[in-house]
Structure 1
Amino acid sequence: MLTFYLLLGILYGLALLWLGSLWDNRSPKQDEIVHSQEMVSILIPFRNEVKNLPQLFVSLLQLKYRPFEVVFVDDHSEDAGKALLHRLIEGNRDSDIAFVVLENQGKGKKEAIETAVHHARGGLLITTDADCNLPVNWIELYLQAFDAPKTQLAAGPVISQGADTFLSKFQQIEWASIWLMTQMGFGLGRPLMCSAANMAYRKAAFLNVGAYEGNKQHPSGDDEFLLKKISQRYGGNSTVYLLDNLVWTQAEPSWGKLYSQRARWASKWRLHASFYHKVLSFLPVLLQLLFLSSLILLSQGWGGVMIFSWLWGLKLLLERRVLGKTLKHLNLELYSKDFFLTSLWHPFYVVMVGWKAIFGKIRWKGRNSSQFN
């Protein structure tokens, strides 16, 4: 038993260091030189986002690239968001930005995006969410990626912003771990995931792969399912991950909402046909269960106590080093106590999210999965 947990610590440490090395070997940041003259359309589905639309609108006006089109699609909101959006457009005229506001022709985010795609004039489509804040050079960085004819889809990292609380810091550290796994998948030519809050693709590629046919029954996955379809159709080198193109989103305000959101994301595992993806979906839960099971070492005498202390000490120190370095690259520096508390709580959190993803009812924006069947 002691040997097993000793090997667990060694393998986990080597895996973390390897993921960190992939981040270190990322492509250097490019200069903001844009050669493309392609029309760009930004697609933004929204539902009940009246509180977030004003900040997003300001963020859109501050984008440096011109001209571009913004296609908003109201997914049957129950608040005054659509009326507010029309007032914002009327009060902020910009001749180089074409705003379009549509009603979703179906139900849910996937059909809202399809509605937007069919009305979009651009050959390059960029998606984000209504609760996001965009970098001023967001479009330019995507256009650089699509200068390469082989590129059909690109994505960038997302991170939460919020109050100076442990809940907020926990989410930022978790995002860093998501970046590492995302970077690994793209780097190996077998992308696992990305976020539609920061994603771009060619309109032709979206239509050629059949959009979301085959997975509309699930309320989430507008990013992962499309990523997999495009990667399978055009090859792994047709997708790229832009580590420096960071989008900010709102942090979840409570642990309950965070669990529900992450469980909704994780619940897509059963819909992926790839055995490779399903295994990697279960791996984090299995790994954290193994860390929690190491508590049994405390009943194995001094040898067990020493291995337990070494295992958890290694986990705390390496996660602090690797995830801290990842966040620092994007000018985010957190206290060591935030990393250590996150490392201690994360195994319990992952197991609870995994349980809810498998056995719980998934709700989102006032809907549950059954409403999409």
Structure 2
Amino acid sequence: MQFTTNPQMLHEMLALGICYFLFAVGYTWGLYHLGKTWEPETSDLTQSLPSSADCCILVPFRNEERNLAALLPNLMDSLPFATKVVFIDDHSEDGGEALIRNFIQAYDIQNWFVVPSIGLGKKAALNTGVEASHSEIILTIDADISLSKGWLKSMLAPFNKANIQLVAGPVMTHSANGIFYKFQQIEWASLLLISNYFFKKGHPLMCSGANLAFRTSAFEEVAGYTGNFHIHSGDDEFLLKKMNKKYGADTLVYLNGPSVLVQTQPMTTPGDWIRQRSRWASKWNAHGEKGHPFTAVLLAIFCLIVLSSIPLVFFSWKLTCTLIFVWSLKFIAEKAVLGKVLKLYGLKFSNKNWFLAGWIYPLMVLATLPYAILGKYIWKGRKN
């Protein structure tokens, strides 16, 4: 396997191989230290919610008729009977609103309400819901999720401590056959790992509005989503950053474990995944801090290095052996650390799934990159 006789080129390829080796060692070390902070459920989850606590679940929706058909019976089965739920219609163009009203009427549910959003977009819908809730604690979920019966109690338990202002929980896609669906669960595991790590380090970086709770008083104190309404995504992250700045990281909690898990529908095609991630990543320069752009650049460089290493195997046996070794390091690190996260939720994958997911991820990220930089995408019928 010797396709070049140019010594200078060979030396350059060897240098790149060594750089990739150092990168892989650093990557493995980083994953190891991230994984050390991954723990089961916190002790707060063993406590009971004070009887005086008042909470409300907000469900913003737009063109979600199909998902709502599955969500409504899940909520009825998973939540205590008296739980208040407010569904906020973000100007849907399907029959979602009628579906909810008919369900409420059919089962005579007294504490569920449907209200029209005042304004456009998810932030406006959530803001409408907060104003309509008249509750001490707000929980937010999406219309395409499912809950376990212990979810509400587990999410509310940390609020026994008066200083806690926000609680975030894990999100994972439903299981399905096929490598693309397995890849999404592995990728979600990395998001859970990173979220958990930075919460525990006192520098919360991200959370998901599909599994979030906060005090209404804190929401009002930081002026909610004011200043971010013009950005289509990021209701969760912008609120997290505001509360961190106002109250400090010790007032924010990230929970792990099956009892607080919210399961969401996976993307069915790579194009759907790219559009969703483009929407998430399009706010990379809107946080007013260097951390997010720096992280985005590092991720892009990581993916580019991984994919660029493939053709290097054709230049010499030395490079081939070096790259096989560092690819093995990467594989072992991902499976060991992310596998620990997935195991907590009863998920286990074959070596084939781990191997393929490790190469699918950098391809998908680089495919998303142009849309994220330009901020151009279409989501639920709206163009950004």
Residues 159 and 172 of structure 1 are in contact (CA less than 8 Å); yes or no, is this contact kept in structure 2?
Answer: yes
Aligned to 1:10: 25
Q: Is the counterpart of residue 255 in structure 1 residue 262 in structure 2?
A: no
Q: Which deviations, in whole Å up to 9, do the C-alpha atoms of 1:164-195 show, x marking residues without a partner?
A: 12121111111001001111111111111111
2:199 aligned residue: 186
Aligned-pair distance for 1:246? 0.3
Report the equivalent of 2:363: 348
Instruction: Tell me whether 1:283 sits opposite 2:298 in the alignment.
Output: yes
In 2: Cα distance, 1:231 partner to 1:36 partner: 28
Deviates more, 1:122-131 or 1:270-279: 270-279
Q: Which residue of 1 aligns with 2:169?
A: 156
TM-score, length of structure 1 as denominator length: 0.94
TM-score by length of 2: 0.91
Correspondent of 2:318 among 297, 300, 303:
303
Give the number of aligned pairs: 367
60-69 or 238-247, larger mean C-alpha shift: 60-69
- TM-aligned CA deviation for residue 3 of structure 1: 2.9
Question: Hey, what's the Cα distance between the residues in 2 that align with 1:133 and 1:26?
Answer: 19
Partner of 2:279: 264
- 2:189 aligned residue (176, 184, 187): 176
CA contact (8 A) 1:43 1:116 kept: yes
Instruction: Specify whether residues 367 and 64 from structure 1 end up closer, same or farther in structure 2 by C-alpha distance, changes over 3 A only.
Output: closer
Q: Which has the larger radius of gyration?
A: 2
Distance 1:29 1:240 in 2: 10
Quick check: 1:109 aligned with 2:119?
no
Residues 138-165 of structure 1 show CA distances to partners (whole Å, capped at 9, x for unaligned) of 1111221111111111111111115312
**CA-CA distance at 1:136 after TM superposition:** 0.8
Paired residues of 1:36 and 1:147 also in contact (CA < 8 A) = no
Greater shift, 65-74 or 141-150, is seen at 65-74
* Structure-1 separation of matches of 2:51 and 2:22: 51
CA-atom RMSD, angstroms? Answer: 1.7
Contact 2:65 2:95 in 1 (8 A): yes
Letter in 2 for 1:356: Y
Distance 1:239 1:202 in 2: 11
Amino acid at match of 1:202: R
SS in 2 for 1:38: coil
In structure 2, give the amino acid aligned to 1:101. Answer: V
What is the rounded CA distance, in whole Å, between the counterparts of 1:283 and 1:271 in structure 2? 17
* Contact 1:209–1:233 (Cα < 8 Å) also in 2: yes
Say if 2:171 and 2:262, in contact at 8 Å, map to a contact too: yes
* Alignment correspondent of 1:206: 219
Quick check: 2:39–2:256 contact (8 Å CA) kept in 1? Answer: no
Counterpart Cα distance in 2 of 1:136 and 1:284:
37
Q: State the secondary structure of the residue aligned to 2:285.
A: helix
Please, which runs of 5 or more residues in structure 1 have no aligned partner?
none
Q: Once the 2 structures are TM-superposed, how far is the Cα of residue 64 of structure 1 from its aligned partner? A: 4.5
**CA deviation after TM superposition for structure 1 residue 299, in Å:** 4.6
Higher relative contact order (CA 8 A, sep 6+): 2
The answer on 1:88 being equivalent to 2:103 is yes
**Structure-1 residue corresponding to 2:68:** 53
Q: Is the 8 A contact 1:297 1:307 kept in 2?
A: no
Q: Contact 2:155 / 2:169 at 8 angstroms: preserved in 1?
A: no
CA contact (8 A) 2:179 2:353 kept: yes
In structure 2, what is the equivalent of residue 166 of structure 1? 179
Give the Å deviation of 1:353.
Answer: 1.6
Question: Which is worse superposed, 273-282 or 165-174?
Answer: 273-282
Question: Separation in 1 of the partners of 2:39 and 2:119?
Answer: 43
Alpha-carbon distance in 2 for matches of 1:294, 1:253: 29
The alignment-based identity, stated in percent, is 39
Residue by residue over 1:206-250, the C-alpha shift from the partner in whole angstroms, topping out at 9 and shown as x without a partner, is 111111111111111111111111111111111111112100111
Give the one of 113, 122, 128 matched to 2:141: 128
Flag the 1:74–1:260 CA change in 2: closer, same or farther, 3 A: same
SS in 2 for 1:151: coil
Q: Secondary structure at the match of 2:65?
A: coil
Equivalents in 1 of 2:128, 2:150: separation in Å? 26
Amino acid at match of 1:198: N
